[in-house]
Chains A and B, each alone.
Chain A
Amino acid sequence: MAKNTHDVIVIGAGHNGLTAASYMAKAGLDVVVLEKNEWIGGAAVSRELYPGWKYSNCSYVCSLLRPEIMRDLELYKYGLQIIPYEGSATMMRNGDYYAHYHDHDMTINSIRRHSHKDAEAYERYSRDVLRQCKIIKPLLKMTPPDLTSFKPKDLFGALEFAKHFAAKDELGGLGEKEIYDTIRFYTMSIRDYLDEYFESDITKAHLAGSAIIGTALGPCSPGSAYVLLHHYMGEVDGSVGAWGYSRGGMGSITKAMTGCLNAHGGEVKPDNEVVNVITKNGRAIGVATKKGDEYYAKKIVSNLDVKRTFLKITEESSLPGEFVERVKNFKIRGSSGKLNIALDGLPEFPCIPEGDPGGGGDMHFTETIEEMEGAYDDWKRGEWSRNPYVDMCIPSKSDPTMAAPGKHYMSVFIQYVPFNLANGGWNEERKQEFGRHIVDCIAEFSPNFKDLINHYEVRTPLELDNEVGLTEGNIFQGELTMDQLMFNRPVPGYAQYRTPLKNMYMCSSSTHPGGGVMGAPGANAAREVLIDMNIPQTGNYY
């Protein structure tokens, strides 16, 4: 039994669990990570399901992963490289297209083809969004203060939070107007927000995409503007809002984190599903696995979402009733699906001119916000969208390691797909029907697409729940709305990575600052554990 005693147990080898584990191992703790699947990575994973093709099975692009984390954990040393991509495009049924580029002025020229006014409004829009990104950036790394507490730590924390909102040194002083803007941004719908800048449907539809990816909100739902910000606040080497591929697929991120963890004496144990948190007198003291093993540790950190952590693997009787109610009410609705496709060649998209860098990144075919809202309406009825919003990309266009030269891997993210499918729920037949529907939608824009398909993997919210462990298949491990953000995430009173059980912590995307392959929840949680253990933290992140 003695060998199953560690300083820290982390439940779940997703990117946040591994980030937390690596920081704690770097600080000298003996850390073990228990993972239910036979593979490592959670939703940042690359698996070869068809020989010769690597998929980014769940998450597929990278921007939010904090550079300080990559630096502290020396992820490059363990094989991580981010490849920025050049542009994005929305294809139109009339054969035209709309494109965004790495280069700001090329984007302006492109928008101008659709609306001269929009091209100039884009300058104002990007300034305003960038301003919001700058306000939020320092908040990501902070543990949200408890606003009801009078502890000095919370009072100072609240002050610090407020200071960043006013952020005088960083932004040259925000006036009253800008603070109002911030509050509006966090509560508005993306449609209303974009209407304040743009006139052309295609411009608005292209930009609105980021506001609905992964969320169970529609473009007309209040709060969707924030989701856009959440997708913009990342960066690729200082280029705020830019996205890139992780060389070798998203699994390279968690593989590199595992490399760092191992180098500092930590270990990941795959195929070890935690089924129960062992408690004693209101303290978490260990975990039991499905295999029947028990592990004991001074600290237990759960990377499972808040619902799984407290409704599935923790005895309800060991938790305060009100807390359990709050967790039950936590919104975590699945809304997305995915296709991973092995292609025998490069599909043609005649809407996008050959060699146009706009085709190098994400591609879409939703032309108006109304179409998008229509797709959402289907979801509300428990159906997958007949005319879905897709975020599709071909990472092998930029990454030579995903498939052999000339062969391609295509990732298609689909919005909206319900967890509770109407009329009897998901089964294999309906899953395949959904997959065929998406293939048909894409084929409308690519004449040779269907002929090139060797294999594809269909992911519905049900798989994301069962296999990856994301409750209801919600990719953010909890909706990104104001009632569930910052000091409210996951539930008020427990936003500081601690839980009602002593020695038990949360580090998943259910905690501040939320979803995306960001690593910030993991790094923040590790900091709180280290503070409680009186171990100094070092590194660029802290």
Chain B
Amino acid sequence: MNRDLRFTALKKTPFHSRTSLASRTNKYYNWNGFTVPTEYSTTELEYTAARNGTSVMDLTPMCKYMINGSDANRFVDYLVTRDLSQMEDNTVAYIIWCNEDGKVMDDGTIFKFSNTKFMLCCAVKIYNWLHDSAEGFDVSCEDATDTTAALAIQGPTSCSTLKNYGADDLELLKPFGMKQYNINGYDVLISRTGFTGDLGYELWTDPANAENMWDSIMEAGKELKIRPFGMHALEMTRIEAGFIQTNTDFMAAEDSLRPVRMRSPYEIGMGWLVHLNKESYFVGKRALKKEKETGNSERCLVGLDIDGDKPAVGSVIYNEKKEDIGIVTAAMWSPTMKRNVALASLKRPYGIKIKENIFAEIYHPEELEYKKIWAKCKVVKRQFFSPERRNKVPADLYE
């Protein structure tokens, strides 16, 4: 029976034939309209692959946009808060962008091929926003989400795995560098980027190359402890790395039903990405300048080191007078550091000026009853985990 193709349910990525075969648990979730695995075997072991060997994740559902045209450079610089005027070709930069009120819409990475060609990767769809913002610029914005297959290859042995796959001299690629390869007859763009806070790469290619790329990389990493890696494990690694997740650690400005939920970059620890001294205007500059001058940011996003071993998922944070001062946005027991860590959104001055005598109320489920734990917290650097190998050039090789 032929299905009526006008009805599209969740989409499958070009790796689906391989990811579904690798899945031992058949656990999937909906990421940006695609069906992708939450977990292949055991989250703990998948997490371990990212910290010990090579982890492989299907990144295809991530939003990807190609920005081309003679004004591309100027347009991108106008769009984001970071000063990209000095950005070199074949490099990648971490960026955020705001609306005119200076509220963060999303974070992402921008890939610069040349002054006239960029690729933007992010979590929240912005095709419409890009088009609206591009008025007056000589650029074209194209949604490449469905036409670019992407894999994240992360972990201490990832460089060796990819060298076996055919990425010659990859160990020399610097963090946030990118390089165009031709492997097995297909163009593959490899960037030294990722969401695990470890040594790692992301690969971008034609969907027609997806299955070959997956199979070849799995073979290349066979002796290097390679393992497919699902969303749950990614969540663990990104918390350890202190990376923020849109609509988890803060509400995207365009998604916030309640205006009070919107956050400025200063309120989510992203002030370092706002370059107010950038010569040209950028979206939100006026509002951000005012916020900076008046110092009226209301919140902050901090790292917490919490007593005990029970993750403070969804915990409310209190001061010693038991007044509510914020909420945990993401929490975990870190298997690598053996620490109980969390990201938390606090009401200033807590987290900035007051870092002591902060407590999390943790509800720990115990066989259908909850144990209420009052745990002491320390405000710490959000980047809990950042091993030396992450930024090492040449990258570690296992031979």
Contacts and interface: CB of A to CB of B under 8 A. Distances in A.
Interface of A: 67-68, 70-71, 74-76, 81-84, 86, 102-103, 172, 236-239, 247, 357, 398-401, 404-406, 540
Given A71-B338, A237-B335, A400-B53, A103 B44 contact: no
A102 B42 contact: yes
- Residue from B48, B53, B399 whose CB has the most chain A CB atoms within 10 Å: B48
25 contacts: A67-B338, A71-B339, A76-B336, A81-B52, A81-B336, A83-B48, A84-B45, A86-B41, A86-B45, A103-B42, A172-B367, A236-B44, A238-B309, A239-B44, A357-B41, A398-B225, A399-B52, A399-B225, A400-B156, A400-B224, A400-B225, A401-B398, A405-B223, A405-B224, A405-B398
Nearest to B367: A172
Contacts of A357: 41
B245 to A, nearest CB: 22
B337 interface: yes
Contacts of A71: 337-339
B399 A404 contact: yes
A102 B42 CA distance: 8
Contacts of B335: 82, 84, 236-237
B345 interface: no
B60 interface: no
Given A67-B309, A86-B42, A400-B156, A406 B223 contact: yes
Nearest to A82: B335
Contacts of B237: none
B267 to A, nearest CB: 30
A239 B44 CA distance: 10
B45 A102 contact: yes
B206 interface: no
Among B51, B225, B335, B336, max chain A CB count under 10 A is at B335
A360 to B, nearest CB: 9
Contacts of B367: 172
Interface string B376-399: 000000000000000000000011
A405 B399 contact: yes
Interface string B182-217: 000000000000000000000000000000000000
A76 B337 contact: yes
Contacts of A238: 309, 333
Contacts of B307: 540
A237 B51 contact: no
Given A102-B45, A398-B225, A400-B398, A81 B51 contact: yes
Contacts of A404: 398-399
B160 interface: yes
Contacts of A74: 337
Contacts of A247: 52
Nearest to B308: A540
B157 interface: yes
B44 A237 contact: yes
Nearest to B52: A83
A84 to B, nearest CB: 6
Interface centre among B52, B367, B398, B399 (most CB of A within 10 A): B52
Interface in B13-71: 41-42, 44-45, 48, 51-53
B52 A398 contact: yes
